[in-house]
Amino acid sequence: MGKDYILTTDVGMLTLARQGIYGYDEGRINQVDFEKMYNAKVIDQFIDPKSGFSGYALQDPSGEIVIAYGGTQPDQEGRGDLITDGLIVGYHYTIYGHLA
């Protein structure tokens, strides 16, 4: 597999948000390896196949719970999430005159 992370640290949460949740969401990482990677159990999850939105609750051995959300999933059935992302970018640019 790869490197293991402590879920409740900044690095663990950033890695989860950046790549871990998408790898699990897309099936590139199975649940056993995903839970080992973050030393946590997936205690609940929700996946909307139409929009691509997903949410996960993970619990580490100390009992602390971390909620992770998966956003844009262009390979999913619907494209609503991509449209929403585009609207957010357009709104930000309109209000602030730049993207960052």
- The mean pLDDT of 6-13, rounded to a whole number, is 77
% of the chain at pLDDT higher than 90? 16
Q: Domain containing 47: what range? A: 10-96
Distance CA 31, CA 43 (A): 11
Asked whether residue 5 is domain-assigned, the answer is no
Q: Is residue 3 part of a domain?
A: no
pLDDT value for 88: 64
Query: How much is the pLDDT for 72?
Result: 62
45 CB-near residues (< 8 Å, 6+ apart): 54, 55, 56, 57
Please check whether residue 1 lies inside any domain of the structure. no
Place of tokens 């998408």: 22
- How far apart, in Å, do the first and last CA atoms of the chain sit? 34
* Domain annotation covers residue 75: yes
* 31 lies in some domain: yes
Whether the per-residue pLDDT at 78 is higher than 60: the answer is no
Residue with tokens 């619907």: 78
pLDDT band at 2; cut points 50, 70, 90? low
Residue 91 lies in a domain: yes
Number of domain units in the chain: 1
Domain presence at residue 47: yes
